[in-house]
Chain A
Amino acid sequence: MHTSSRIQAAETQDLGNISIPHIQIKDLNVAIEGKRILKDINLSIPNNSVTSIIGPSGCGKTTLLKTLNRLVDDTKGVEITGSVLVNGEDLYAKDAEVTHIRKKMGLLSQRPFPLPMSIFDNVAYGPRIHGEKNKQVLTQIVETQLRNVGLWDEVKDRLDASATRLSIGQQQRLCLARGLAVKPEIILGDESTSALDPVSTQTIENLLIELKQDYTIVLVTHILRQARRVSDYIIFVYNGEIIEFGKTDDVLLNPKHEITQQYVKGFIS
């Protein structure tokens, strides 16, 4: 409970202007096969900003991210208590409709996974399954989203080509465009640049910074410099607990807690 009170303080002091946060986590506990992975998580993620979850390997940061769109449900032997509110709607309520919830959250995975189809169909896939059949509208969506991620000029002449023929960096941007095409409200990134070269990484980072005007973005990253470059807020997770949550500079430059200091200085990783 000590942790919760610290976060409460962080919210009131540093994150004063959160009106109605998209994402609020209340008393969230996750155990996998009897082992507690996340402990008493209480959190309000600020809207229209980039929030990075950092922490040593195995601390539960990816699990935390995956509780946000309930992909954690797929894990063997998982038990979840508490609630995650997205726009006030509890994702873990008994009657919660998972498919509808997931649509609101675009996921950018560690490695790009284009669907086994053409570039055009990859972007049009989401809108199609959600009922958009008009070819003109779909063409428009594909163009807009590919422009959004800066891929249009590179692929406009080969939209029918297989998406797997693109470079890894292009594939990751395509996956972002595919996610954006279903009009999510939140973008979740799980170490989304770890498989990319430095140039592609920079492109994705810049895109995320641009996109925060319209979306709430939550990233998991193990690269502190990246967290510093892109994020407005940082959540430091250690052993399944939130140790510190605040503005990027506050957490990275003036960490309040000793473990955070050690992590930021590179003594623990």
Chain B
Amino acid sequence: MISNVKKRLLKEKIAKVAMQLSGITITGSLFFIIGTILYKGLPYLSWEMISQAPKGGFYIGKEGGILNAILGSLYLATSSTLLATLIGIPISIFLNVYVKSGSFLERSCKLLFDVLFGIPSIVYGAIAFSIMVWVGIRASLLGGIITITLLTIPIVVRTIDELLRTIPIDLKHVTLSLGTTRWETAKICLKYIKPGIFTAILLAFGRAIGDVAGVLLTTGFSDNLPKYVDEPAATLPLAIFFQLSSPIPEVQGRAYASALVLTFIILIIVICTHLLASKQQKHKT
């Protein structure tokens, strides 16, 4: 019979192996993805590709680039992340600082945001599209920005909400006992969670720049560089999708090069966020 200690040590070993396996699987798939896009995309990546809009015949392997999609995605993701942050932070603050903890309003709002968080982006896209048709707006950058903003607000709200919940109640109490208003207390709370806010923004940006379904119906696609918000605009994920659907190997290769550009943009954003967050860390406990 195995003794109790041996049993516990065996469980410990099994748990450790399971964790290591998960770690290896995830890291392995990540390297596999990056490796694939590097292997397949790097030969097709050129200065021309990232500095020019598509010219006639680009999708059958002729000249041009994906600058239209790079700019379109950057405009779309930056604007919607900015809007989602501006709308999302006040919502989280209201739910955590103003509304009484455990109240019906608080619980129902949080449940609602959980549900919104889980709704697939195609549903957001479809609803936004039907509203746009009803109001009489055509697919445009603005339509995309609004849709993606709605899609990312729940991400911002839930992430900031989790952060605000980590604030010790005593910090709120000592601040209130200095005679602050709720708003002044909220500002202190925001200062306390500042490094984490960048993570929320990063998550929202990642979702915004990578979304296909939400922009498919609402933003449309255009070979021109995006100039006006009321005109259709190209986005990187859609550009990848269209190029990948082509039977021409040259165009398929460019799809991987586009994916490489998208990954690189996200990498830069991640690095910037971490730098900003660690800079903000200095006054936190």
Contacts and interface: CB of A to CB of B under 8 A. Distances in A.
Interface stretch (A4-12, A19-27, A107-115): A107-115
A163 B178 CA distance: 17
A25 to B, nearest CB: 18
Contacts of A99: 179-181
A116 B284 contact: yes
A116 B102 contact: no
Contact of B101 (A74, A107, A116, A182): A74
Contacts of B180: 99, 129
A142 to B, nearest CB: 14
Given A116-B284, A126-B179, A77 B102 contact: yes
Interface string A149-177: 00000000000001110000000000100
Nearest to A171: B285
A102 B177 contact: yes
A179 B178 contact: yes
B227 interface: no
Contacts of A175: 174
B191 A116 contact: yes
Contacts of B284: 116, 164
Interface string B97-115: 0001111000000000000
B98 to A, nearest CB: 11
Contacts of B177: 69, 71, 102, 105-107, 179, 188
B174 A109 contact: yes
Given A76-B100, A175-B174, A164 B285 contact: yes
Interface residues of B, number: 27
A258 B12 CA distance: 53
B199 interface: no
A182 B103 CA distance: 32
A182 B178 contact: yes
B169 interface: yes
Contacts of A125: 178
Interface centre among B172, B179, B283 (most CB of A within 10 A): B179
A96 to B, nearest CB: 14
Nearest to A115: B188
What DSSP secondary structure best describes chain B's contact surface? helix
Nearest to A33: B102
Contacts, number: 78
Nearest to B181: A99
B282 interface: yes
B175 A109 contact: no
Contact of A100 (B100, B174, B179): B179
Nearest to A70: B176
Nearest to B176: A102
A102 B179 contact: yes
Given A71-B173, A76-B102, A109-B173, A117 B181 contact: no
Contacts of B171: 113, 115
Contacts of B174: 107, 109, 113, 175, 179
B151 to A, nearest CB: 31
A129 B170 contact: no
Given A109-B173, A116-B283, A117-B283, A74 B178 contact: no
B88 to A, nearest CB: 21
B178 A113 contact: no
B163 to A, nearest CB: 13
Contacts of A118: 283
B170 A110 contact: yes
B184 interface: yes
Nearest to A114: B285
B105 to A, nearest CB: 13
Contacts of B285: 114, 116, 164
A103 interface: yes
Interface string B202-244: 0000000000000000000000000000000000000000000
A132 to B, nearest CB: 13
Interface of A: 69, 71, 74, 76-77, 99-100, 102-107, 109-111, 113-118, 125-126, 129-130, 162-164, 175, 178-179, 182, 188
Given A102-B179, A164-B285, 10 more contacts: A69-B177, A74-B101, A76-B101, A76-B102, A102-B177, A109-B174, A116-B188, A125-B178, A126-B178, A126-B179
8 contacts: A74-B100, A102-B178, A103-B179, A107-B177, A126-B178, A162-B283, A164-B284, A182-B179
Q: Which 9 A-B pairs have the closest CB atoms?
A: A103-B179, A107-B177, A76-B102, A116-B283, A126-B178, A109-B170, A113-B171, A162-B283, A116-B191
